[in-house]
């Protein structure tokens, strides 16, 4: 479990560092639908402000942010029909984090998968950066879920080649999902402008990077909620053995792995605390996403959403 937690923490730090250190290319390019009009406005009536920003000047002589002044200038010289399309796109984007919670996996599901395949569980969480909110002090009993679905899934013996193909396919899909999410966050940060903080471009990428943290909290809650039977004691097992076991489980489809028996424990203070923190942070994460995405400008609803 310690190896799993350390792996998740390192990956989260990697995603956060990548998001914050992204190059600032705002106002250099725009989404396709209104790209020509926006570039013409930027280089025409707002050309002096854009040149000032390119020289690295942060504030104008009146103390106003150059970035904000350039944004205001471009919006003031944009037609009302185009700004109306921007507004409809903002509404759709603002609703997106709330809508996605119905499509993503719950923290309990991710925690169960992380019990055997922590890297795959983390990549799934990173590729679907949404978490279903839970009410405070409420946490799904994973053992009860397994008992309900036990009759639907049976342990299966598959060949090593078939298992390798299945595992490779799983990682191709989830890595594609992760790449799609972070490319979308990069383009919304560099091709659009956030009205909350015009000088920053990484709000959407941080929103995507924070979601796996909530799933790690779910994994910690599961650790406090259930125990493995009969192999709970691992005192004689070395760190190298743990790594070999992790690699073996990670590269093998769950349906072909050895049976893992979980037993529920009584609710403890650590479980109540972690699950409560997780439920609060999940709501905060959704709210942060709504604010971050509903503040974007220069993104039209129709063609831009398809790119």
Tell me: the pLDDT tens digits for 201-241?
Answer: 888 888 888 888 888 888 887 777 777 765 544 555 567 77
Measured distance CA(218)–CA(35) in Å, rounded: 43
Q: How many Å apart are CA 21 and CA 29, to the nearest integer?
A: 19
Is residue 19 within 8 A of residue 209, CB to CB? The reply is yes
Which residues is 65 bridged to in the sheet?
Answer: 59
- Strands 226-229 and 261-264 turn out to be antiparallel
Residue 152 has pLDDT above 80, yes or no: no
What is the pLDDT at residue 77? 93
Q: What distance lies between CA 248 and its chain's CA centroid?
A: 27
More confident residue, 162 or 149: 162
Distance between CA atoms of residues 231 and 98, nearest Å: 40
Give the pLDDT score at 75. Answer: 92
| Angle, helix 2-20 to helix 118-127, in steps of 10 degrees | 30
DSSP state of 258: P
Q: pTM of the entire structure? A: 0.77
Is residue 229 classed as helix, strand or coil in its secondary structure? strand
Output the pLDDT for position 1: 47
Residue 38 pLDDT exceeds 60: yes
262 near 229, Cβ under 8 Å? yes
Q: Please, what is the Cα angle at 172 between 110 and 133, to 5 degrees?
A: 25
Question: Would you call 161 exposed, middle or buried from its count of C-beta atoms within 10 A (0-12, 13-18, 19+)?
Answer: exposed
Q: How confident is the model at residue 2 (pLDDT cuts 50, 70, 90)?
A: very low
């Amino acid at each position: 479990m310690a190896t799993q937690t350390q792996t998740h923490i390192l990956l989260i730090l990697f995603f956060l560092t990548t998001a914050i250190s992204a190059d600032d290319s705002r106002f250099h390019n725009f989404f396709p639908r209104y790209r020509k009009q926006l570039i013409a406005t930027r280089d025409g009536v707002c050309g002096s402000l854009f040149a000032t920003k390119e020289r690295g000047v942060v504030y104008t002589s009146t103390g106003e942010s150059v970035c904000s002044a350039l944004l205001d200038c471009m919006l003031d010289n944009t037609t009302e029909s185009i700004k109306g399309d921007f507004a409809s796109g903002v509404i759709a984007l603002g609703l997106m984090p709330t809508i996605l919670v119905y499509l993503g996996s719950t923290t309990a599901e991710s925690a169960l998968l992380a019990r055997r395949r922590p890297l795959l569980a983390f990549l799934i969480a990173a590729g679907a950066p949404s978490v279903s909110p839970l009410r405070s002090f409420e946490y799904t009993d994973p053992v009860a879920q397994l008992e309900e679905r036990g009759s639907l899934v049976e342990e299966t013996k598959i060949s090593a080649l078939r298992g390798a193909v299945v595992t490779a396919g799983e990682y191709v899909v989830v890595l594609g999902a992760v790449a799609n999410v972070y490319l979308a966050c990069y383009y919304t940060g560099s091709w659009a402008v956030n009205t909350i903080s015009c000088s920053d471009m990484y709000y959407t990428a941080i929103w995507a990077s924070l979601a796996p943290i909530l799933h790690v909290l779910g994994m910690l809650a599961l650790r406090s909620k259930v125990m493995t039977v009969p192999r709970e004691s691992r005192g004689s097992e070395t760190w190298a053995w743990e790594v070999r076991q992790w690699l073996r489980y990670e590269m093998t489809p769950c349906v072909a792995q050895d049976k893992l028996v979980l037993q529920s424990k009584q609710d403890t203070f650590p479980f109540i605390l972690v699950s409560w923190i997780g439920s609060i942070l999940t709501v905060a994460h959704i709210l942060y996403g709504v604010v971050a995405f509903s503040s974007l400008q220069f993104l039209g609803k129709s063609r831009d959403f398809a790119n």
